[in-house]
Structure 1
Amino acid sequence: MGLVIRTYLSRLNLLLVSRIATLVVLVVFLVSFLSLVGYQLGFSTGMTITFFPMIIIAWTIERMSILWEEEGPREVVTQGGGSLFVAVLAYLLMQLPLSGHLSFNFPELNLIILAIIMLMGQYTGYKLSDCVALEP
């Protein structure tokens, strides 16, 4: 739904900040609607969504829309699926009792994770996708 709304917004030729703000408001409405439908179906977890994930959803919609225009729908599905896989994997990892114990009792370990992430961001050598794409 977000990509359909974003496609309509691109026809209005809004500036970036206005487009993102509009997307945030529309995502709030969409999440509210889905939360109400979920509540009517007996799911109460949708009522606890905070504002921060809505911002992330709006930025994701914006980025996927730009990617759709530049690279096409196949790349959107590939990157969106990869992002969803990583998010589910991270969620499952965070649900482990050991990870909860370590992160709450030893918050300085997050600095080590930050350092690893920054090192991975600097790496410009071969990636797994480069090895798979090589032909004999």
Structure 2
Amino acid sequence: MTDNKTDTTWLDCIKWDADGLVPAIAQDHATGRVLMVAWMNREALQLTAREGRAIYWSRSRARLWRKGEESGHVQILHELRLDCDNDVIVMQVEQRGGIACHTGRQSCFYKVYSNGQWQDTDPVIRNPEDIYAHKHD
């Protein structure tokens, strides 16, 4: 998926919040499962469309974050959608490695409310310490 490098008018349609961000939902293109939610600024969204992979704005690090840059779990973009209010992005993605969550699970939405409490329901596919071991070198 690519976009015209000079025409950015499509970005003007988005209702950015006061910090210049928009929430972005990453959804598995094959199953429809919601994998994660993150934030994008204008540059992140433009680069996502241009490069064909999910690029977010990290609020905690105050910088662009290419999904998978540390874990190797890249999200390949299949489709971008904008909601009716122009303030939420949904991305259909192929999740490389099958892990979207930094906890080592397929999805960040692995907690289910049941009997008055949150229950972890999805297994850890890979230990996060193994995924991010190189960060401590």
Q: TM-score, normalised by structure 2?
A: 0.24
Q: Which has the higher helix share?
A: 1
Rg larger in 1 or in 2? 1
Q: TM-score, normalised by structure 1?
A: 0.24
Higher relative contact order (CA 8 A, sep 6+): 2
